[in-house]
Amino acid sequence: MKISQLLIFIFFAQFTFGQNAFKNKIDSSNYYDYFANGNSQGTITTARLSKAEATPIILDELEKAGFKWLSDNSLYKLPSGQYIVLTAYCRKSNFGFLYAEGFPMMPTKATRGKNLDQLYKNALYTQVEYGPNDEANFVSLKTLPSNILMLAQNSYWYQYSDNQKDNDSLVTKDVAIKILRQDIQKLIEGIPKPK
């Protein structure tokens, strides 16, 4: 009886370890090589990490790196006098992250790290300010100060299918989170840690 249980374990373990090896070899340098565009047995959906999903990850990476006095959704005044809402801000070191939402239909290597404003509006970032009479004012920024780092939602895509066999070879949400963490780590490498 024990031999049959061992054989069953080995049979299923090979698939699990094979999937983990596949997911582990994906990183920010080869991410787009695994985009599935056809050749599936089911319907494949491409999604991106939302700002609500990305914010705790950004804060977690900043905390792990030793940064202090962290906050999310912080109103920040630019040198021009304009205000923007930063996704994450480190008050003690005076730098923050902007997670720019929006994306083109299909992710491509050429658009990695760029948001819709950069791709189509000749701006680095655009936000909407609403007034007391429901008027909307679109504020487009062509530059950001060096202490504001931008992450584009467009870069953090993942795929899933209604067919489990497809899911075994797709870039998962966990992989997209890993890519986001890698990008954050690269961006904060040169920022001095607070004492």
User: For residue 194, is it within any domain?
Assistant: no
Residue 174 contacts by C-beta under 8 Å, 6 or more apart in sequence? Answer: 23
pLDDT at 31: 83
pLDDT value of residue 177: 97
What is the phi/psi pair of residue 70, to 5°? -95, 145
User: Would residue 14 count as lying in a domain?
Assistant: yes
Residues 193 and 68: their CA atoms lie apart, in Å, by 9
Average pLDDT in the 141-153 region? 88
Res 17 pLDDT > 50: no
Q: What is the pLDDT of residue 40?
A: 67
pLDDT at 29 over 70: yes
Residue 193 lies in a domain: no
Which phi-psi region, left, alpha or beta, contains residue 172 (left: φ > 0; alpha: ψ -120 to 50)? Answer: beta
The H or E element containing residue 51 is helix 51-64
Residue 107 has what pLDDT? 73
CA contacts within 13 A on the Cβ side of 130 = 3
State which amino acid sits at residue 128.
V
**Quick one: pLDDT at residue 18?**
45
pLDDT (mean) for 106-116: 66
The 8 Å CB, 24+ separation contacts for 112-118 are 112/31, 112/32, 112/152, 112/154, 112/155, 113/152, 113/154, 113/155, 114/152, 114/154, 115/150, 115/152, 115/153, 115/154, 116/154, 118/152
| pLDDT tens, residue by residue, 163-185 | 888 888 899 999 999 999 999 99
Which residues are CB-contacts of 117 (< 8 A; sequence separation ≥ 6)? 100, 102, 123, 124, 125, 126, 140
- In whole angstroms, give the CA distance from residue 170 to residue 111: 20
Q: How many domains does the chain have?
A: 1
Q: Which domain holds residue 45?
A: 2-188
- On the question of pLDDT at 111 being above 50, the answer is yes
Is 195 part of a structural domain of the chain? Answer: no
Q: What is the mean pLDDT of residues 36-58?
A: 87
Task: Count CB atoms within 10 A of the CB of residue 134.
Answer: 6
Write down the pLDDT at residue 95: 94
Enumerate the β-bridge partners of residue 94: none
Q: Provide mean pLDDT across the span 128-146.
A: 84
* Residue 136 belongs to a domain: yes
Q: Which is higher by pLDDT, 110 or 164?
A: 164
52-95 pLDDT tens trace: 999 999 999 999 999 999 999 999 998 888 888 999 999 999 99
Q: Residue 41: what pLDDT? A: 74
> Taking the CB of residue 115, how many other CB atoms lie within 10 A of it?
26
